[in-house]
Amino acid sequence: MVKSRIPDEAWVTALSRVPGIGPARLRALLASDEPASLWRSVCNGSLPKELPPDASSGGAGLRLPQALRDQWRFAARTIDPEAYWNAHVEAGIGVMLRWSPSFPEELANDDDAPAILFWLGDIDRLAGTRVAIVGTRRASRYGIDVANEFARELSLAGVSVVSGLALGIDGAAHAGALAVEGAPPIAVVGSGLDRVYPRAHRSLWRAVAERGVVLSEYPLGSSAVAWQFPARNRIIAALSDVVVVVESQSTGGALGTAVEAARRGRTVLAVPGPITAPSSAGTNQLLFDGCGPVRDVGDVLLALGREPERRRVAAEQRPTPIGTAKDVLDALPWQAIPVEQVLSTTGLELGLVMLVLEQLENDGWVSQRSGWIERIGRGGAR
């Protein structure tokens, strides 16, 4: 056949573009036949009604109802495997199948392994020790600062930071890893590598690809669909030796990553937060459930079996607030509150409080966002 001019990777790439062929079905399909012949079966509707069970599907065979096979057949007609493959080659996308000898071992042996991986950057940069830093998209200043600091110090210690390039904690972690000359950062995303999401992280995405590697199990053109983000989290979990959840509400994707990591026997650590802060409800729950607490990056290194350099708590560099500034700072709890609450607690006038807060912000004691004030702990300011 003429079509065999293109490699196996090209047929699997085309298969992975068919809506409805997710990671699990793709794995089961590939266990049953050669990629090129599978593609022909999908296109002419000659797939069997049921695929035999294989090792990775845990005993049950994969049923393929007529409607599903029809749906695939119609979708496949819009895909030209050869042109689609060339688009990947031209875009400089790396592609690797699960059975390739250089496929990351932790992923290849995973129960829920991706059948194919796409990447931007250098796949060899996966080689070192890896720690995931994950958390909520709606992060507090505290969470952002902690994620950023941990990522910097882990990178400097030669540990690659794995995260999802999402808003909030993920982005802060990658920004921290890129801020130093350290281990290469690793990102796992939930869309095709040409679909930058969120768009606000366009330059961060590019920087990770330049200095590290951006991985995806979705081919070019796949948009960011909601279910693909939890699916992406399992790859983050599988790739990481330790998962650190920095900040999470009581529900959220980061908790999903923690569950996926625990299921795979990875160490899950959580950063404690105020018990009154909704942004730390999930991480505090993880601690209650038995995850190890993280006080500083030394605790993470210890979990990796390394000898941590115990850091002395840095001497306070910030100018000590006096007078009204001290009164205002003392009135702030360790979670964000609206300015109006500062007024009612201190009994001071708005204008004065705003002036004092501006000074405290300049000195690195507080952070202001959209009318909310949050206190900053040691070493938070940059």
- Closest approach, Cβ 276 to another protein, in A, equals 12
Quick check: 212 and 181 in contact, CB under 8 A? no
Of 30, 294, 301, 336, the residue at the interface with another protein (CB under 8 A) is 336
Which one among 354, 363, 379, 381 touches another protein, defined by CB under 8 A? 354
Cβ count near 271 (within 10 Å): 27
**Residue 371 near another protein by CB under 8 A:** yes
Kindly state whether residue 167 participates in binding another protein, applying the rule CB under 8 A: yes
Residues 195-214 contacting another protein, CB under 8 A = 197-198, 200-201, 204
Q: Which of 33, 25, 34 is nearest to 62 (CA)?
A: 25
Residue 373 is classified by DSSP as: E
Kindly indicate which of the ranges 40-48, 80-88, 164-172, 254-262 contains the residues binding another protein, using the contact rule CB under 8 A.
164-172
Nearest approach in angstroms of CB 242 to another protein is 22
The C-alpha angle with vertex 329 and arms to 327 and 334, in degrees rounded to 5, equals 140
Minimum gap (Å) between residue 288 Cβ and another protein: 19
Interaction of residue 339 with another protein, rule CB under 8 A: yes
Quote the Cα angle for 230-227-239, to 5°. Answer: 30
Question: Rounded distance, CA 5 to CA 68, Å?
Answer: 29
Residue 246 binding another protein, by CB under 8 A: no
Taking CB under 8 A as the rule, does residue 189 contact another protein?
Answer: no
Q: Which of 92, 127, 98 is nearest to 112 (CA)?
A: 98
Q: Tell me how far the alpha carbon of residue 54 is from its chain's centroid.
A: 30
Place of tokens 């689609």: 84
Show the site string, 109-138: x = touches another protein by CB under 8 A, - = not. ---------------------------xxx
Distance CA 286, CA 213 (A): 29
The footprint of another protein (CB under 8 A) covers 136-141, 144, 148, 167-168, 171-172, 175, 197-198, 200-201, 204, 226, 249, 277-279, 336, 338-341, 344, 349-352, 354-355, 358, 369-372
